[in-house]
Structure 1
Amino acid sequence: MAEFEVATGATAGPAGDDPGRRAAVRTAFEGLLQIRRLMNTDAADPEGVPAEWERRRPVRAVALALEAAGVPPSALDAAGHRVATGYCLGTAERPGVVRVEWLGPPGSGAAYAAEEGLRNCAAVLRRLGWEALEYRGPRRRRHLEVEPAPDGPPRR
Structure 2
Amino acid sequence: MAKPPTAAQRRIIEAADPATGRLTGSEAQLAALVRHRLAFRHPRPPHAFFLTPAGHRIREEAPGRAAPSPETPAAAATPSGIFAARTGTEPAPPPGADGPARARDVRSAWEGLLEMRRMTNADGARDRPCAWERTHLVQAAALALEAAGCRPGPEGYEVGETPQPEAVAVRDASAERLRACAAALSAAGWQVSEHAERPGGSHYLLASPRRAG
TM-score normalised according to structure 1 size? 0.77
% identity of equivalent residues: 40
Deviation of 1:14 (Å)? 5.0
The Cα offsets for residues 42-62 of structure 1, whole Å up to 9 and x where unpaired, read as 26xx11110100011010001
Q: Partners in 2 of 1:127 and 1:6 — Cα distance?
A: 18
* Equivalent residue, structure 1, for 2:74: none
The within-5 A match list for 1:1-156 is: 1=37, 2-12=81-91, 16-42=97-123, 46-74=125-153, 84-102=154-172, 110=173, 113=174, 115-138=175-198, 140-152=201-213
| Larger CA Rg, structure 1 vs 2 | 2
Alpha-carbon distance in 1 for matches of 2:136, 2:178 = 21
- Counterpart residue type for residue 203 of structure 2: R
Alignment CA distance shift 1:14-1:7 (3 Å): farther
Question: Could you give the per-residue CA deviations for residues 103-131 of structure 1, whole angstroms, max 9, x where no partner exists?
Answer: xxxxxxx3xx2x21111111111112100
Gapped regions of structure 2 (runs ≥ 5):
1-36, 38-80
Q: TM-score under structure 2 normalisation?
A: 0.57
Residue of structure 2 in register with 1:77 after alignment: none
Check conservation: 2:128, 2:211, Cα contact below 8 A. no
Runs (4 or more) in structure 1 with deviation over 4 Å come to: 13-16
Residues 64-93 of structure 1: per-residue CA shift (max 9 Å, x gap): 11101110001xxxxxxxxx3111010012
Distance in 2 (alpha carbons) for counterparts of 1:95 and 1:86: 25
Separation in 2 of the partners of 1:22 and 1:58?
21
Which runs of no fewer than 5 residues in structure 1 stay unpaired?
75-83, 103-109
CA–CA distance in structure 1, aligned partners of residues 107 and 132 of structure 2: 18
Aligned residues: 131
Offset, 1:13: 6.0
Q: Secondary structure at the match of 1:144?
A: strand
SS at match of 2:191: strand
Pairwise CA RMSD: 1.8
In terms of fraction of residues, the more strand-rich structure is 1
User: 2:117 is aligned with what amino acid?
Assistant: R
